[in-house]
Amino acid sequence: MTVDRRTVLRSTARLAALTATGALASSACADTAEKTAQEPVSFAARVQPSHLSTVGPVAAGLPPTPAAPSPPAGAAPTSASPSAATGATASPPLAAGTPDEVVNGPRDRREVALTFHGQGDPALATAVLVAAEQHGARLTVLAVGSWLDQHPEIARRILDGGHELGNHTQNHLDISAMPADRARAEIAQCAERLQRLTGSIGRWFRPSAAQYATPMVREQARLVGYQHCLSFDVDPRDYTDPGAEVVQRRVLKAVSGGSVVALHMGHRGTADALPGVLDGLSQLGLRAVTASQLCA
């Protein structure tokens, strides 16, 4: 009986040890699964080809683009949802039948959209925003992602002024000449910056170095989440720096109801021309609104 009792005790001890080891292993697996489930997946990783999931231009020998900085510790979140990103000026629904690529809005409206390529000196960008706000105008800014990396505060400044913010690619290269996967990476990287800084990727995508989006570019934009590309029908070529008077004259000569005007931040002549452009539009009975308002 003594031998049998010792045998039973040893067996019981071994069973208890095995049970404890199994419990620890199960606990470790549960912790690992929980951590994996909590691991965030970046916006770019969801929409980019796997081999471009870090930074697309690296594959083409270009220097990597730094990630947009995170908000400082303790700072209030900028927004919790796409609708919150624009606050009281949330973009209205577009009218039924709005094309995949918008060149102009309805011609029977006494409204125009002044759209700006977002790049360059942020002081000039701020001057443009202030001039528009003083005239009761609202703009659409298509931002370059690398510009947002350098000046992340400008994203909220644009939206807080009641304006609209969209995507103009990450590095402002000739997107029409790129392979499809690299073009998608250019769009996705800028979209990730917009999402991180404002809570929304924005409604509009404008191709870089092109007035119109090719079918390939439109498809890549759609895969990232942009159902509409934004072109234009009035181009005063302000990026050539012809001077404020020339920019103003070219815009007012070509504009009509429903026009989408292409302008550029970061150019002194454009910033100086804007008050005169807005006064001239008013004299023509036209009002500057966002592209979404024009197409609603």
One domain, residues 289 and 225: yes
Summarised one tens digit per residue, pLDDT across range 61-84 is 333 333 433 333 333 333 333 333
The pLDDT of residue 192 is: 99
One domain, residues 22 and 109: no
Q: How confident is the model at residue 231 (pLDDT cuts 50, 70, 90)?
A: very high
The pLDDT of residue 194 is: 99
Burial of 156 (0-12, 13-18, 19+ CB in 10 A): middle
Average pLDDT estimate for 26-48:
39
Residue 115 in any domain: the answer is yes
One domain, residues 19 and 128: no
One domain, residues 257 and 114: yes
**Mean pLDDT over the full length of the chain:** 80
CA distances from 240 to 77, 255, 276, 279 (A): 39, 19, 19, 23
One domain, residues 265 and 186: yes
Helix, coil or strand: residue 190: helix
- Decide if 223 contacts 47 (C-beta within 8 A): yes
Look at the chain and report how many structural domains it folds into: 2
For the chain, the distance separating the N- and C-terminal CA atoms, rounded to the nearest angstrom, is: 92
Report the candidate in 99, 115, 117, 47 with the shortest Cα–Cα distance to residue 227: 99
The pLDDT of residue 26 is: 39
Average pLDDT estimate for 238-255:
99
Write the DSSP symbol of residue 234.
B
Report the candidate in 101, 105, 108 with the shortest Cα–Cα distance to residue 295: 105
Residue 87 in any domain: the answer is no
Residue 46 in any domain: the answer is no
Domain that holds residue 14: 2-39
Q: Say if residue 9's pLDDT is above 90.
A: no
The pLDDT of residue 90 is: 67
Residue 221 in any domain: the answer is yes
One domain, residues 230 and 129: yes
Average pLDDT estimate for 34-55:
37
289 or 36, which is more confident: 289
Write the DSSP symbol of residue 59.
G
One domain, residues 10 and 107: no
One domain, residues 217 and 108: yes
One domain, residues 144 and 33: no
Q: Say if residue 233's pLDDT is above 50.
A: yes
One domain, residues 107 and 30: no
Residue 263 in any domain: the answer is yes
132 or 8, which is more confident: 132
Residue 147 in any domain: the answer is yes
SS3 for 88-135 is HHCCCCCCCCCCCEECCCCCCCCEEEEEEEECCCHHHHHHHHHHHHHC
Summarised one tens digit per residue, pLDDT across range 177-216 is 999 999 999 999 999 999 999 999 999 999 999 999 999 9
289 or 57, which is more confident: 289
Residue 266 in any domain: the answer is yes
- Decide if 228 contacts 98 (C-beta within 8 A): yes
One domain, residues 156 and 285: yes
One domain, residues 32 and 131: no
**Domain CATH number, residue 288:** 3.20.20.370
Residue 126 in any domain: the answer is yes
Poorest-pLDDT segment among 84-88, 93-97, 114-118, 252-256: 84-88
